[in-house]
Structure formats: C-alpha cells, structure tokens
C-alpha cells in the first residue's frame, strides 16, 4: 500500500515504522517542511514530502496531529486523494493542550468534527493506545495477551481494509460501530489506553458514560501535566487498567500508583 501520514509525533512515527517494516510505501509530512523530517526518514524509511503533496494518490491517509492543528490544514490538502481511500483520525481532544473547541464542548463527537472540517468521512482508530504500546507490544495473531483496538466509522468496506492492516502490525481490531459511537473510545472512558484484549474491549466500550468522560479526561490531563517527561509510559497503561477496574490484584498496578505518587511529590 501507499500510506500517507500527517504528523511526525509519537503515534505517527510508530505507525510509519510499522508500515515500512512490512514493506508499505510511507509518505510523511508535518506543518513545517520535509527537511525537518530527515532524522525520522533515516530511522523509519518513510519518505518526507510537503503537506500539499501528501494525499495525492495514497491508498490510506492517517491524520496524527493535535486537534488544534486540524483547522490549520490547507484547503487543497486533500486534492488528489482517491475517493475510495480511507482517512484515519487518531486524534484526541484535550482542552488543556488544544484550547476550547466550541462544537465539541457542545456535544459534537470529536471525529465527526474532524470529518466536517475535512469534508470527507473518517474512521476513528489508534487514538486509545499509548505510543509505547503501539510501537513495542504488537504480537502474532492468536497470542493470549494481544492488544485489541476499536475502530469506529460508517464505511464497512474501509473498516475491513484497516482491520486487516491492524492485524498485520500485531494487533486485534474490533468494529466498534458507526462514527457516532466513537465517543466510547475517547479520553475519559474505560477503553482509553488500558491495552485490552479482544475479549475485554467490548465491555469497556459499553461501560463508557458520555456525560462523565469530559470531566474524567480533564482530571487526567491536569495530572499528566504535572508528571516528569521520563515517567514510564507503561505505568500510565497500568494506571489506565486500574481505573477501568482491571488488574486490581496485580502488584505492578499498585507499584505504578506508588510511582505516580512519588512523581507528583517531586514535581
């Protein structure tokens, strides 16, 4: 496949590495210039391109940028993108980082807002896994602890294509319903970043409470802002699992709580 990735942060970089390792052609762009991506290109084999050339002729387009940056994409950005090529939205709305987005604050689903700006349908996926897990924790099909990712959207054919690609890079995928249901995998919900298996994920999605998730999200963001940059990402996963009611009796879960407490005291 020929895959375009907008955004060279942790998620975009992890996906670029996975796809290149499986011999896909990967184009990657950021808001600056191709020259600023030379180190990433060397590390992953992805091809830096100008944002204006990103979507032309790709089989799949991935938007992996902060929500606040989506309105800044140029109007001609999607010129040349085939009508049959899915667009994946990996983003999450964090007002602490993105500022207030009135439409989302009034109840619009995050990825529906992205789709409205792009003028094209999108699929929501790769938004509820930390980059460290995405990069390092893929497993062969059938593995006992293989992580499952939800994918929400309205195009069944596009979802099947993306589910096959997710399987290829080492993860199970669950069709989580239409885009209107993608709020169940947004920040502040039980399915957000606990690295669940395919048997665990449906229950986490069903337990989501739309009226409570924004407050949960904002409390978590405020906590994250106080943590040192070197706080272990897998401790965040363990804390997410605890908050989802998982791993209550595992010692490493409570060691993660202690680690969080010490990090907050140091800050």
* Residues 140, 167: Cα–Cα separation, whole Å: 8
Backbone phi and psi for residue 163, each to the nearest 5 degrees, phi listed first: -60, -40
Cβ-proximal residues to 109 (8 Å cutoff; 6+ apart), any chain: 179, 180, 182, 183
Domain ranges within the chain, ordered by starting residue: 2-206, 226-266
The answer to whether 80 and 26 have CB atoms below 8 angstroms apart is no
Q: Identify the architecture of domain 2-206 in CATH.
A: 3-Layer(aba) Sandwich (3.40)
pLDDT in tens, the chain (267 residues): 999 999 989 999 999 999 999 999 999 998 888 888 999 899 999 999 998 888 999 999 999 999 999 999 987 889 899 999 999 999 999 999 999 999 999 999 999 999 999 999 999 999 999 999 999 999 999 999 999 999 999 999 999 999 999 999 999 999 999 999 999 999 999 999 999 999 999 999 999 999 999 999 999 999 999 999 899 999 999 999 999 999 888 898 889 999 999 888 887
pTM of the full predicted structure? 0.94
pLDDT for 89: 98
The answer to whether 97 and 168 have CB atoms below 8 angstroms apart is no
Q: Which residues pair with 152 in a beta bridge?
A: 124
Cβ-proximal residues to 26 (8 Å cutoff; 6+ apart), any chain: 3, 4, 5, 16, 19, 20, 44, 45, 46, 47
């Amino acid at each position: 496949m020929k895959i375009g990735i907008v955004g060279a942060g942790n998620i975009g970089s992890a996906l670029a590495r996975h796809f290149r390792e499986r011999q896909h052609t990967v184009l990657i762009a950021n808001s600056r210039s191709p020259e600023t991506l030379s180190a990433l290109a060397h590390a992953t084999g992805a091809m830096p391109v100008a944002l204006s050339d990103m979507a032309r002729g790709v089989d799949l387009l991935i938007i992996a940028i902060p929500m606040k940056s989506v309105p800044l994409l140029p109007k001609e950005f999607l010129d040349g993108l085939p009508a049959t090529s899915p667009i994946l939205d990996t983003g999450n709305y964090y007002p602490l980082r993105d500022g207030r987005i009135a439409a989302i604050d009034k109840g619009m689903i995050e990825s529906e807002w992205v789709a409205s700006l792009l003028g094209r349908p999108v699929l929501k996926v790769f938004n509820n896994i930390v980059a460290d897990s995405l990069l390092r924790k893929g497993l062969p099909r059938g593995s006992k602890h293989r992580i499952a990712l939800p994918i929400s959207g309205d195009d069944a054919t596009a979802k099947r294509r993306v589910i096959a690609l997710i399987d290829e890079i080492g993860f199970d995928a669950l069709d989580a319903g239409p885009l209107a249901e993608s709020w169940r995998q947004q920040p502040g919900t039980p399915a957000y970043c606990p690295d669940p298996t395919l048997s665990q994920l449906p229950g986490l999605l069903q337990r989501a409470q739309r009226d409570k998730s924004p407050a949960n999200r904002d409390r978590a963001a405020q906590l994250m802002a106080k943590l040192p940059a070197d706080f272990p990402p897998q401790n965040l996963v363990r804390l997410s699992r605890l908050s989802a009611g998982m791993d209550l009796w595992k010692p490493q879960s409570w060691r993660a709580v202690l680690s969080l407490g010490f990090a907050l005291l140091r800050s």
